[in-house]
Homo-oligomer: A and B are copies of this chain.
Amino acid sequence: MREGPDIARIASLVGDPARANMLNALMGGTALTASELALEAGVSLPTASSHLGKLMEGGLLTVASQGRHRYYGLAGPQVAGMIEAITGVAEAVGPKRVRPGPRDGAMRVARVCYDHLAGEQAVAMLDRLVAKNVLVRDEQEIRLGPSAASHFAAIGIDVYTKPRRPVCRACLDWSVRRSHLAGTLGAAILDKILAEKWARREKDSRAVIFSPPGKQAFEKVFLS
């Protein structure tokens, strides 16, 4: 009985278990095919297709056709942010998790959040970059500091190729309740971490596992 944006429509899209599983899987950041998402959600292919259609129509997903594959991905950072917010509430009010599970600890330490690193490691990294004045925090926006270009160039990341998306963005962490670095720079750093094989993605999970030498290298570069 009240005007305004149709929040029930969006929430009900997320409110179906199959769709929620799909969205959760897509929070890993990589686009997935319909079959992969069907498997992830535990439903048949036709069912998954129907769900994907609804998510598309609702504007939560984008799709890229490549040959006979269709890669589905989250429509954007705002959608990812909403899902993190819902996850935060579910985490808080949820039935006091019976057993945290082995993955869970790893998820808190480091995980993929859409296209960048999240978790304690990521929060520590942003803190350090701000403390070193490489990045400057101002309001919700994070900006490049004076030494940013040289700092990142030294480790092979070019911050000057300006894309449509903002280079830096703050993203609130549901496990730590503080911000970590998102945006293209955050994405580039995650790429670097994986490319250097400092860490690997846990199979079928968003957890990111650092190898002992990889952790040292990461700390040397970003936390020193």
Cβ of A59 within 8 Å of any chain B Cβ, yes or no, is yes
Other contacts beyond A15-B15, A81-B88: 18, CB < 8 A: A1-B41, A4-B87, A5-B91, A5-B94, A5-B97, A6-B94, A7-B83, A8-B15, A8-B17, A11-B13, A11-B86, A59-B92, A60-B89, A78-B92, A82-B85, A86-B86, A140-B177, A140-B179
Interface residues of A in 163-204 (CB under 8 A from B): 170, 172, 177-179, 204
Identical chains bound together, number: 2
Interface string of A66-87 (1 = CB under 8 A from B): 0000000001001101110111
Interface string of A135-165 (1 = CB under 8 A from B): 0011111000000000000000000000000
User: Closest approach, in angstroms, between the C-beta of A72 and any C-beta of chain B?
Assistant: 16
Instruction: Name the contact of A11 in the complex, choosing from B14, B42, B103 (C-beta under 8 A).
Output: B14
Q: Is the beta-carbon distance between A21 and B1 smaller than 8 angstroms?
A: yes
Q: Is the beta-carbon distance between A20 and B7 smaller than 8 angstroms?
A: yes
Give the docked Cα–Cα distance between A1 and B82 (Å). Answer: 21
Q: Dominant SS at the A interface?
A: helix
Cβ of A24 within 8 Å of any chain B Cβ, yes or no, is yes
Range of interface residues on A (Cβ < 8 Å): 35 or more
